[in-house]
Structure 1
């Protein structure tokens, strides 16, 4: 699992806090699997390069990326990365060296994870989620594109990217009535993250009796 550090306009990146918390819970819930959490620098050069090093070192079977978006009010399941990058400064103030991510690469790369199933299973838990076929043109898209490229080289299908809101409100104690309403807070975000992992691992959804609201 990866998140991102700060970048211009976002002094505190929610994914930097979210990913270690989710990884800790996932390691306990899915103890048969080794869970690794890393925070990528939000930089045009070092972000994708760090990701390539992680692929080589960890040889992953499932790779889940998380990043923030000003347009997200809940989980946004990205389904496609585009071979483009905006002339926008990264965390160091640097601009990308080109207008595309890979000069000879395909225009788009599609995600193979079951996006519709993920959204449906989150909805069953009263956790809002949508799909998107446009991951933007900043570092989130760049990392997803590079990750799909690296996964193709290693014959891995399990790569996904999930946008979360820039600000996640604290979890509230919910009454039975309130739980009928969809709300995205730290509790539902982590519960949803576990369900994303469970879905990507091909495991059936939990019984409603065994769902613990975090």
Structure 2
């Protein structure tokens, strides 16, 4: 719901930008292939991923994805095939958006934000790692970021504020990569 609403508001605020939007399944087997498919189909200059973190306040800008999967079942009950995302891959990949500047921008706009070097061991981290890996193989490299967004269930004002903050992240990140954006959510 949040990413779809963000995409609608982003298209109104930035009509000169082409957006591709996807809500990824919380599925160890399907999400990585969809990341590759989105990069292939849209060849974005920015792939900005959002994940919900209900237990936190403010926005958490992830600075790295680790080549690690926690053996936790996905929404369909499936487990990751391995403890690592990519056999022989780097132990960690760094975000390619200016994470510190994004956090500072959010704070300047009145949003709580912090940096994190741990996207977790679940699908948020896996999607982030796959997207960074996919972007690194492209000739015209795209910037990749992952933002954990706060959502308080049942509070429309909180959802409005989350969408407004996510739009600020998107606008700021697009300033550094202004042609095409791909938004996903897990």
1:102: Cα distance to partner? Answer: 0.6
| Aligned partner of 1:117 among 98, 101, 122 | 101
Match of 1:72 in 2: 56
Q: Deviations over 1:178-208 (max 9, x none)?
A: xxxxxxx2222122112111111227xxxxx
Which structure has the bigger radius of gyration? Answer: 1
Work out the number of aligned pairs and report it: 174
TM-score by length of 2: 0.89
TM-score by length of 1: 0.77
1:35: Cα distance to partner? Answer: 1.1
1:186 match: secondary structure: helix
1:192 match: secondary structure: helix
Match of 1:158 in 2: 143
Alpha-carbon separation, structure 2, partners of 1:24 and 1:70: 23
Alpha-carbon separation, structure 2, partners of 1:163 and 1:60: 21
Pair 1:196 & 2:182 matched: no
**Higher RCO, 1 vs 2 (CA within 8 Å, ≥6 residues apart):** 2
Match of 2:45 in 1: 61
Alignment of 1:74-93 (within 5 A): 74-93=58-77
Q: Gapped runs of 5+ residues in structure 2? A: 177-186
Cα pair 2:46 2:143 within 8 Å, conserved: yes
Alpha-carbon separation, structure 1, partners of 2:17 and 2:92: 31
C-alpha RMSD of the superposition: 1.4
